[in-house]
Amino acid sequence: MINELKVSDKVLDNFLLKSVTLRKTRTGKDYLDIILKDKSGEIPAKLWNVDTTMKDAFSAGDTVKVGGEVDSFGSNPQVKIESIEKVNLNDEDMSKLVETAPLNSDKMYDDIIDTIENIKNEDIKIITKTLVEKYKDKFKNYPAAKSFHHAMKSGLMYHTYTMLTNAKKLTDTYKFLNKDLVFAGVILHDICKTEEMQCNDIGVVESYSTDGQLLGHIIQCVCEIDNVSRTLGINSEVPSLLKHMILSHHYHPEFGSPKYPMIPEAEILHYLDILDSRMNQMETAFNNTNENEFSNRVRMLDNRNIYHYTLDNKEED
């Protein structure tokens, strides 16, 4: 498994190609810059001296058998590929490569629909339900991101479900918050990643759509809320409040939000999102690091190294 690989280890195993990019060395020679993935994590890899037949032989989502050796680039390990070929894998072997959300997607979806049905404001309920039902299949399958948090099959739904679980607890603490707005904001905040990204059946993002690159999921979702509201003839303040929550949930302009939160429900949405995404990154780095060692730098966590301590977290009987 990738999380067990160390510098100088020999490699001969099956992997999923998360990304494949043709690049040139400083001397002008072609090579493939690859990210290999299995259920335990991912690792950069290089295939040097690529000939004409190999340039377009592989693409993201391919399953391959790779032979090579682990070396290092800077302080991070990478695989120097010596042999690579496409392989067809059975379900058992594929399950070793594809990380899937730890909860059943049908169960999570049913719980989310249940929450929507209990929303008291009819405008909030119908807008949210319309968009969730529209994107149902993708929502249940897509990862939450290509490579950052919850980058797993059904990761988008798992991220939403976990945020919703936390939102229900926090709205019991901060009772002045409008629960309908908070719950709808959580459910809708990333739903248009299903239009921003192009994903295959095993939950791997292969590319970004044209609108995804030109607009991004935040603007795409604002447009969807606007379209649904107009179609349904909703003239209340609700569409503007929901659109504001979506627009502001990344908080900073440099991260894609043109507005800072101006209502408390938008503020809590941002922190629910950042909390869940960072805890997912923390958990991944912690679990993929040997005890009493530090992880590689985690880009999303401000390039921090996460320490795997040995203190027992389990409650005593």
Please state the φ and ψ torsions of residue 90, each to the nearest 5 degrees.
-80, 175
Domain formed by 105-280, architecture: Orthogonal Bundle (1.10)
The closest of 211, 195, 208 to 134, measured between CA atoms, is 195
**Bridge partners for 45 per DSSP:** 34, 79
pLDDT of residue 111: 97
The closest of 65, 139, 131 to 109, measured between CA atoms, is 139
pLDDT of residue 317: 47
pLDDT of residue 100: 83
- In the chain (317 residues long), the average pLDDT of successive 10-residue segments reads 86 90 90 89 89 85 91 85 90 78 93 98 98 95 79 90 97 98 97 88 79 92 96 96 96 87 97 94 86 86 90 64
pLDDT of residue 79: 94
DSSP state of 293: -
CATH number of 2-94: 2.40.50.140
Q: Max CA-CA distance within the chain?
A: 65
- What is this structure's pTM? 0.79
Element (H, E) at 247: helix 238-248
pLDDT of residue 315: 58
Q: At what angle do helices 105-117 and 122-134 cross, to 10 degrees?
A: 160
pLDDT of residue 240: 97
**Any idea where the domains of the chain sit in the sequence?**
2-94, 105-280
pLDDT of residue 208: 86
- CA gap 271, 312 in Å, rounded: 28
The closest of 60, 53, 9 to 34, measured between CA atoms, is 60
- CA gap 40, 51 in Å, rounded: 31
pLDDT of residue 98: 79
